[in-house]
Amino acid sequence: MRDTAPETNRSLPIALLRAREKVMGPIRAMLADVGVTEQQWRVLRVLAERGTLDPTEIADRSCLLMPSLTRILQTLTTKGLITREAHPTDRRRQLVTITAAGRQLIADNLKESQRLNAWLRESFGADKLDALLDLLNELDALDRDPRG
Amino acid sequence: MRDTAPETNRSLPIALLRAREKVMGPIRAMLADVGVTEQQWRVLRVLAERGTLDPTEIADRSCLLMPSLTRILQTLTTKGLITREAHPTDRRRQLVTITAAGRQLIADNLKESQRLNAWLRESFGADKLDALLDLLNELDALDRDPRG
DNA sequence: ATCTTGCTATTAACATGTTAAGTAAACTAT
DNA sequence: ATAGTTTACTTAACATGTTAATAGCAAGAT
């Protein structure tokens, strides 16, 4: 079906959408078995890798907007995967920490996650994957919005 | 901030997310002024380019899932930008057509849309843009899910 | 003719995306 | 000190993403 619509293949927004779906599909399937979403998984991994963080930094590192993150942190707290405490000196801020259960959830799925990454590298080609990542990062680094 | 987190730059899902945000930001801003979302714009453009279609084909061409499309078609009908009629021979299906108002909305924004595309080509580089699109399409064409 | 199977579109339920507004706390400059 | 500003997080409102279930219809097989 899709090959009869050549235009959309040259549309960058749609190409990015399709590529993302291709990569995320298997990951989502894996996470669905454990009962966490792709976004919740990102938050947990950031916390596991970098330790206690405040919500603003979590949002930046996991590429989530603050309103989304607010809801996700509530969900993760309910699930017992994170804890939140007040910041010692700045009462506007919080400190979020992953719990042992959260770390366990990551440990239970990290191997499969790495297997999916390896499959991608092998199937798509390590050279092409690196080239793609380079281009995407360059694109993201483009200076400013085209408001001229 | 972001440059202190080298890992996420090499994560394909997140790199795709950031790149998409970079490209879509200006487009969303343009469309917000007219009162349509990015997804509604995609549907209208598909209908304008290819004429009357049934919802299943619209979903395929605009990269939307059917439940999302159902709601979007309701919204677009309310806004008077599309019309829906029953399929003459298959009563399960519908035929969706863009209205004159819908075509006018596209005409009003097409030039700006093309200007944004041109800005991207020039700013990012035509060669790199083509290379990126090629890689994304190749990725999307990868055979099957890694269920081994 | 009925029965099964598959297709089309919708609905439901929950999670996130997105923009705008709101609240509370910290900062800045007088 | 205090008015004005900025920062951190939350809430609200609406749109979409995602999976599962549902209803109506079509087509093929028995």
| Strand C closer than 7 A to residue A145 Cβ | no
Name the band, by pLDDT with cuts 50, 70 and 90, for residue A10.
Answer: confident
Residues 44-63 of B with CB under 7 A from strand C: 54-56
Mean pLDDT of A31-54: 97
Q: Does position B147 have pLDDT exceeding 80, yes or no?
A: no
pLDDT tens digit sequence for A130-145: 999 999 999 999 876 6
If you average pLDDT over residues B70-75, what whole number do you get?
98
Task: Please tell me the pTM assigned to this model.
Answer: 0.91
CB atoms within 10 A of CB A8: 20
CA A15/CA B136 separation, integer angstroms: 6
What are the beta bridge partners of residue B94? B86
- In tens, the pLDDT along B88-97 reads 999 999 999 9
| The amino acid at B73 | L
* Helix, strand, coil share (%) of chain B residues, nearest 5: 70, 5, 20
Cα Rg of chain B, angstroms: 18
In angstroms, rounded to a whole number, what is the distance separating the alpha carbons of residues A20 and A30? 16
Inter-axis angle of helices B100-124 and B126-140, nearest 10: 110
Q: Nearest nucleotide, C1' to the C-alpha of B53?
A: C8
Residue nearest to nucleotide C17 (CA to C1'): A68
User: Could you report the per-residue pLDDT of A46-101, keeping only the tens digit for each?
Assistant: 999 999 999 999 999 999 999 999 999 999 999 999 999 999 999 999 999 999 99
For A26, A110, B85, the CA distances from A117, given in Å and listed in that order, are 10, 11, 46
